[in-house]
A and B are shown apart, each in its own frame.
Chain A
Amino acid sequence: MAGLLRRPDPNRRAWRVVLAVVRRAVLLAVLLAVVFAAVELLPGDAATATSERGEGEAALAERRHLLGLDRPLFTRFWEWMAGLPTGDLGTSARGVPVAELLGGPFPNTLLLGGLALAVTAAVSPALGCWASLRPGGAVDRTVRGSATAVLALPEFVVAVGLLLVLSSWTGWFPAVTLTGPDGGVADPSMLVLPVLALAIPQIGWNTRIARAALADESRAPHIETAVLDGLPRRRILLHHLLPGAVPAIAIGVATSTGMLFGGAVVVETVFNYPGIGGVLTGAVTDRDAPLVAGVVALTGAVITGVLLVADLLRVRFTGGRA
């Protein structure tokens, strides 16, 4: 018990943060190496994929040389990595700087993913709490049942369903996202369907987590005391149960970030959303390793960042208890 009461050494805590950052950065670097290697393993290469009919072997060889494809994979990867700290993401197979190619789409995807994350973070705990008010009641069963149902749905199915109901049949929202003059989404109403398509499966998942975390917490001794004291349910929920469940909920939402980016590729395609999903699918077709790696680096950095924040939040809330 005495250990728990002692204030943690601030130096040690800073070290832990640095270590966590380094560990995640190394993981990201390994991931990028795997991505490079995976693109290499696909049949064909960037030179053939971006050529047109009628280019002879000589032209292809020249293109290969220009793209540096005649050098070993490791050298190419290393050079690409060396540029990263300066913000240089390399050049695509079509000769355009990767940073330029992602400059428009990446913020759009961030907006889409960020909004979906915000919706998830707001709705899931609320639903979880609502269900927890009367454990085993009608609301609880409905919420848990539908949460399980939607978390099993692929984003694609959700997207197409939303498209049919909220656009084609009712005409409430635009079916497709158009790009505005500034490269962003032309109209905010165009965000509704993609955000919902992305958020709904995650809401299902996180509602389950929130409900379970609250149930766990309700078995804690101080809650039983509160119940025995005859405090109102609502008060118990908001003041006693929820704070204890926050770390688990935060981690759940944070892990959703990765799923959101994965789902974004699919959802963006369905709604023609001008994000990195389209860039990524095209880059894979073009065997464009720097472009694929650029997308992975940016999304990986965001996911890493969110997970790190969640880690720190957990440490803060639990004070090292977990």
Chain B
Amino acid sequence: MDLTRRRFLWAGGGVGAAALLAACSEGGTSASSGADSGPPRKGGTLRIGALGRSGAVIRDPHGTQSNESDYLIISLLFDTLTAPGRGTNTAARLASAWKASDDLKTWRFTIAEGATFHDGSPVTADDVVWSLRRLRDTPAGASRLPGIRSENITADGAGTVVLVSDYANAELPLLTRLTTFVMKKDTKDSELDRAPGTGPFKLDRFRDGNARLVRNDRWHGGAVLLDAIEVTLFQTPQAMANALLGGQIDVASNVGPVAARIAAARRDIQVIRRPDDMAMPIVMRTADGPFADARVREALRLAVDRDAMVEQVLSGYGTVGNDVLGTGDPAYVGAGIAQRRRDLVKARQLLRQAAFDTSKTYELYTTEDIAGLAESATLFATQVREAGVDIKVVKQESAAFWDKTWLKGDLYTSYWGTNDSVVFFASKTMVSDSGQNESGWKDPAFDTAYRKAIGAADAGERKAALREIQRIQHERSGYILWGMADGIDLAGPKVRGLPRLPGYGRVQLERAWLAS
């Protein structure tokens, strides 16, 4: 469920070289990003690059994957019960259907017809139960399958898996999207390297984080077009961009805005923008400290110049945010709540009313975990200075940040890669007793709206509760969500049918194909 931490930096000089490169290549408009024209063609090998570190390679589908390359390989080999979808945030994958009991506690998942492992054996409920329990028993299991105890995952016959939640949860299927990879029952840890999956591709070879996968002709999810996929691990986005520009790979996955700007000058390169990919909110502590007064938080939200942030921090590859997280959710209100705009007069006024001490300097902690994060902090500090608030940016080393600042600091930057669910953020970071309550927020009205949303069987009632969640969040939470970064993939001229979903939706390559 979680975004695993990513710590890939644009090492300074490479960007310089890339920019130089761009200056030297001929100008022109970017290619129409992926016109899926013509009938899909079968065959061919797609060479894709993904970020990772060779010392951090993880083969265990239920391990802590910090490498995007590992996650990509694993999700091509193994199926999750459900998957992110277009138009709905939970689409069928290994589970073809699911149904809740009236109290929304017991959920029954039906395993897809004809689902088999790569060795030919059928997928049974026992395999799924074993895999989910294994996942639940990992150190992060409690946050991956919250509210579902290991013993409450059971099989009902060969084709149905029953999950019982400790509390009513209308969003339970959402929890099964990103890490519920299914392996055969009793797969030994020593056999993980070769464990057969059920996914659209089978493992041909794996070496030091690089892999070659071949088509699974018997995949239950439909015909796969590519013959094979070769995944190459890249340590830096700029090396990956260079490989793409030089024709050594066909797709540079999640390569970032700097590479996109470079590629925009090349007609033959497709720039694929996946909106709502990354949230980089600024977190203000609400429980105590200088930002505990809601008026101060409101003032800072009014002081930020959102358009400038998107333009400068994200190179324009993003959209303006409205302080509500989960922007990719079909239930996201968007236009339903007035867009907050910069209003320095009102910001100053609110600060005066709250008797905010503007003579002091406040520290904003940030890291260089992901591209643009530290830059967002610096620009934010410059902007709020115009409202009379003096903020000093403190760049922390990643490990120190997660250890000392995250969940504890008064003012810091955070980032999240799962953005297609309003409820996800509510449950994880905003409900009073949430395990990762980043801003130390306790708001009874918000809690009530949240419980209503996940406990409502009626669609209308649920919709109203979801609106209320977003309204309260917009009004007084500890978050400043100034914008959303696009996910950016680059692709060569022949690649078609690449995924457009944000976050880990990018790994769904089973419909990709290569034009001749």
Contacts of B140 in A (CB 8 A): 51-55, 59
Contacts of B24 in A (CB 8 A): 168-169
Partner of A272, one of B56, B208, B243: B243
In the complex where A51-B64, A281-B235 touch, is A182 in contact with B207 (Cβ < 8 A)? Answer: yes
| A240 vs chain B, min Cβ distance (A) | 46
In the complex, the answer to whether B207 meets A171 with C-beta atoms within 8 Å is no
| B418 vs chain A, min Cβ distance (A) | 11
In the complex, the answer to whether B245 meets A168 with C-beta atoms within 8 Å is yes
Is B402 interfacial (CB-CB < 8 Å)?
yes
Contacts of B398 in A (CB 8 A): 44, 49, 285
In the complex, the answer to whether B142 meets A271 with C-beta atoms within 8 Å is no
In the complex where A52-B4, A282-B54, A286-B55 touch, is A160 in contact with B208 (Cβ < 8 A)? Answer: no
Is A62 interfacial (CB-CB < 8 Å)?
yes
| B406 vs chain A, min Cβ distance (A) | 8
Is A278 interfacial (CB-CB < 8 Å)?
yes
What residue of chain A has the Cβ atom nearest to residue B435's Cβ?
Answer: A54
In the complex, the answer to whether A183 meets B56 with C-beta atoms within 8 Å is no
142-193 of chain A: CB within 8 A of chain B? 156-157, 160, 163-164, 167-169, 171, 174-176, 178-179, 181-183
Contacts of B58 in A (CB 8 A): 94
In the complex, the answer to whether B246 meets A175 with C-beta atoms within 8 Å is yes
In the complex, the answer to whether A104 meets B207 with C-beta atoms within 8 Å is yes
In the complex, the answer to whether B144 meets A54 with C-beta atoms within 8 Å is yes
Interface size on B, residues (CB 8 A): 54
What residue of chain B has the Cβ atom nearest to residue A295's Cβ?
Answer: B55
Contacts of A60 in B (CB 8 A): 139
| A270 vs chain B, min Cβ distance (A) | 7
Chain A: number of interface residues, binned into ranges:
35 or more
Give the docked Cα–Cα distance between A45 and B54 (Å): 19
Is B66 interfacial (CB-CB < 8 Å)?
yes
Give the docked Cα–Cα distance between A288 and B233 (Å): 20
21-45 of chain A: CB within 8 A of chain B? 42-45
Partner of B17, one of A105, A163, A287: A163
In the complex, the answer to whether A270 meets B239 with C-beta atoms within 8 Å is yes
In the complex, the answer to whether B207 meets A42 with C-beta atoms within 8 Å is no
Is A291 interfacial (CB-CB < 8 Å)?
yes
Is A248 interfacial (CB-CB < 8 Å)?
no
Give the docked Cα–Cα distance between A220 and B313 (Å): 65
| B178 vs chain A, min Cβ distance (A) | 12
In the complex, the answer to whether B55 meets A271 with C-beta atoms within 8 Å is no
In the complex, per-residue mask of B194-207: 1 if CB is within 8 Å of any chain A CB, else 0: 00000000000101
Contacts of A44 in B (CB 8 A): 397-400, 402-403
Give the docked Cα–Cα distance between A59 and B144 (Å): 14
Contacts of B114 in A (CB 8 A): none
Give the docked Cα–Cα distance between A55 and B144 (Å): 10
Is A221 interfacial (CB-CB < 8 Å)?
no
In the complex, the answer to whether A156 meets B13 with C-beta atoms within 8 Å is yes
In the complex, the answer to whether A272 meets B239 with C-beta atoms within 8 Å is yes
Is A48 interfacial (CB-CB < 8 Å)?
yes
| A256 vs chain B, min Cβ distance (A) | 23
Is A69 interfacial (CB-CB < 8 Å)?
no
Is A252 interfacial (CB-CB < 8 Å)?
no
Contacts of A94 in B (CB 8 A): 56-58, 63
| B414 vs chain A, min Cβ distance (A) | 10
In the complex where A278-B53, A286-B56 touch, is A164 in contact with B248 (Cβ < 8 A)? Answer: no
| B249 vs chain A, min Cβ distance (A) | 8
| A55 vs chain B, min Cβ distance (A) | 5
Is B212 interfacial (CB-CB < 8 Å)?
yes
Partner of A168, one of B14, B57, B246, B400: B246
Is B3 interfacial (CB-CB < 8 Å)?
yes
In the complex, the answer to whether A168 meets B21 with C-beta atoms within 8 Å is yes
Contacts of A48 in B (CB 8 A): 399, 402-403
What residue of chain B has the Cβ atom nearest to residue A284's Cβ?
Answer: B55
Instruction: Please name 18 further chain A to chain B contacts, defined as beta carbons within 8 Å, in addition to the given A42-B397, A53-B4, sorted by A numbering.
Output: A43-B404, A45-B399, A52-B2, A52-B64, A54-B436, A168-B21, A168-B242, A174-B246, A175-B246, A175-B248, A176-B243, A183-B207, A268-B235, A269-B236, A270-B239, A281-B53, A282-B54, A286-B56
Q: Which residues of A contact B (CB under 8 A)?
A: 42-45, 48-56, 59-60, 62-63, 92, 94, 96, 101, 104-105, 156-157, 160, 163-164, 167-169, 171, 174-176, 178-179, 181-183, 268-272, 274, 278-283, 285-288, 291
User: Lowest 3 A-B CB distances belong to which pairs?
Assistant: A44-B399, A54-B143, A282-B53
Q: Which residues of B contact A (CB under 8 A)?
A: 2-5, 7, 11, 13-14, 16-17, 20-21, 24, 53-58, 63-64, 66, 139-140, 142-144, 205, 207-208, 210, 212, 232-236, 239-240, 242-243, 245-246, 248, 397-400, 402-404, 428, 435-436
Mind listing 24 A-B residue pairs with CB under 8 Å? A43-B397, A48-B399, A53-B4, A63-B139, A94-B57, A101-B54, A104-B208, A105-B54, A105-B208, A160-B17, A163-B17, A168-B21, A175-B245, A176-B248, A179-B208, A181-B207, A269-B236, A272-B234, A272-B235, A272-B236, A278-B235, A281-B53, A285-B53, A285-B399
